Structure 1
Amino acid sequence: MAGDVWAVGAAYEAYVGRWSRPVAAEFVRWLAVPPGARWLDAGCGTGALTGAIFAAAAPALVVGADMSLGFLREPRAGTVLNADAAALPLAADAFGAVVSGLALNFVPHPEQAVTEFARVAAPGATVASYVWDYADGMQLMRWFWDAARAVDPAAAAEDEAVRFPICNPAGLAAAWTAAGLDDVETRPITVPTVFTDFDDYWQPFLGGQGAAPAYLSRLVPNRRWEIRDLLDARLPRRPDGSIALTATAWAIRGRTPG
């Protein structure tokens, strides 16, 4: 059974946080929210998206909300709030931009979270999110799950591509439309993920943070080594031993009526 773990910022940073930062920067540029807006970063995690907002959007205020107390202890700018994205303890019509980065699919009922985003957004505000393209585009995870499923057929039930049907343009657009948002638009954001060698790729999977590392931590050692060896044999290498992959996220934006 899946049991994702989100608590240790340094381990998350090594696994996927370092790749999320360039995605966050491009996402904020794409939104083009006017300076001086009040932002809510729902599911703010270790603060990658919050940092991109401060770096490029000249906000008046950024509030970050997350369920993980461990992640909220990571140093960052802005105000933080320990809260569920699907039940925000915030007033209606309070923010000019409500965003969520790489978190929406981990909410048990993501459509309910999008409805909450729309509730706390002011009339005419931007409501936007991005999630990894687990099925094809997030290559570091795709290589892992394909190897895990070859070694352990039970891994299929834990593969994020199976677990998170909202992580594609159609699923996202349906949630935004159901929440009553207008001018809905989706796009991919792709960034390079280059690992210096196999250890640079593999070691973050041993940190326990996220779906794949949490799955790996529950396996007996011999099964973990089988997956490791299969990945070592399969992953493409450059002549210098580095592993050049890419990571694609699906982004979506819409506006509240008015």
Structure 2
Amino acid sequence: MSEWSTGDIYESYVGRWSRLVAAEFLGWLDQPAGLRWLDVGCGTGALTSTILRTADPASVHGVDPSEGFIGYARQTVDDQRASFEVRSAAELPDGPYDAVVAGLVLNFIPERVEALRRMREIGSTVAVYVWDYADGMQLMKHFWDAMIDVRPRDRDHDEGLRFPFCTAEGLDDLFTQAGFTTVGTREIVVPTEFASFDDYWQPFLGGQGVAPAYLRSLPETDQDKLREAVRARLPIEADGSIRLTARAWAAKAVS
């Protein structure tokens, strides 16, 4: 199974939190009804379904390189205005589109500036959001901080170190390099609440995403050590619940 392939596992890990961010993101974009949208790296359809529900689009076309994600989106997004296609950000379809958006994907695109330039060519409005891996995405930050305690030699796996541009300033710089002249940015913070430690930990066992894939690669003894190190870091309430927040950074520009 690849790092990103199974829709239901991804949903339990970060897809459900992405949907909360998507609603805030689209409210911030404040686009008129009746537009043609392109959702780049649509994954399981979190952003696509939110566009359909809140933005009254004429159409939304979602593209993603994962056949598993596209299959999940096709099964779960029941709306004639939506279409999905297996396609990477390096081969985006021809426009024009009124709005080109990308949720939680820019950091996984190797040629980010080139992808943004292409989005600028085919879209009137271009907007993205990414997790604040270095500081504000708490459910992941606790994991990586614990990893550095347990296996400091593996610190290069930490998404906060791997994706340092996932900040307001970093996104502004990428958009500017891609040729946009006026870029707007904002933070979006959503609650991520878990009923228990098992509720928090279970999604990490699915192998979907950078942290779960890393966890799966470890010997079982180190997996156990990391689990207990994470448990010791989390703010677990008296009733066993865990209340965290997740911060994303968003950027938008008009081409």
TM norm. shorter chain > 0.5: yes
- Does the CA contact (< 8 Å) of 1:4 and 1:211 recur in 2? no
Question: Aligned residue pairs: how many?
Answer: 249
Amino acid at match of 1:101: G
Q: Percent identity?
A: 52
**1:97-135 residue CA offsets vs partner (Å, 9 max, x unmatched):** 0000001100111111111111111xxx21000000000
Give the aligned partner of residue 11 of structure 2: 13
Matched-pair contact (CA < 8 Å) for 1:11–1:207: yes
Of 83, 87, 91, 1:87 maps to 91
Q: Say whether the 8 Å CA contact 1:138–1:248 is kept in structure 2.
A: yes
Q: Answer yes or no: is 1:204 the counterpart of 2:206.
A: no
AA aligned opposite 1:31? L
**Distance in 2 between residues matched to 1:103 and 1:41, nearest whole Å:** 10
What's the CA shift for 1:47? 0.3
1:153 Cα deviation from its structure 2 partner: 1.4
2:65 alignment partner AA: M
When structure 1 is superposed on structure 2, of 175-184 and 45-54 the one drifting more is: 175-184
> CA offset at residue 182 of structure 1?
3.5
TM-score by length of 1: 0.94
How far is the alpha carbon of 1:227 from its aligned partner? 0.4
2:38 aligns to what? Answer: 40
Distance between the aligned counterparts of 2:161 and 2:177, measured in 1?
22
2:115 maps to 1:107: no
Displacement of 1:86 after TM fit? 2.5
Do structure 1's residue 136 and structure 2's residue 135 form an aligned pair? yes
Residue 180 of structure 1: SS of its match in structure 2? Answer: coil
Counterpart check, 1:156 vs 2:171: no
Q: Which amino acid aligns with 1:239?
A: A
Structure 2 letter corresponding to 1:154: R
- Secondary structure of the residue aligned to 1:222 is helix
Shift of 1:52: 0.7
Structure 2: runs of 5 or more not aligned = none
1:131-161 per-position Cα deviation (integer Å, ceiling 9, x unaligned)? 0000000000000000011111132111111
Q: Is the 8 A contact 2:194 2:242 kept in 1?
A: yes
Instruction: Let me know the Cα RMSD of the aligned residues.
Output: 1.3
Q: Which one is further off, 147-156 or 191-200?
A: 147-156
Name the amino acid aligned to 2:130.
V
TM-score (norm. length: structure 2): 0.95
CA distance in 2, matches of 1:151, 1:43: 33
Query: Quick one: which amino acid aligns to residue 151 of structure 1?
Result: V
Q: Which moved more, 1:59-68 or 1:112-121?
A: 112-121
* Consecutive unaligned residues in structure 1, runs of 5 or more: none
Structure 1 or 2: more helix by fraction: 2
Q: Does structure 2 retain, via aligned residues, the 8 Å contact 1:44–1:100? A: yes
What SS does structure 1 have at the residue aligned with 2:48? helix
- Runs (4+) off by over 2 Å: none
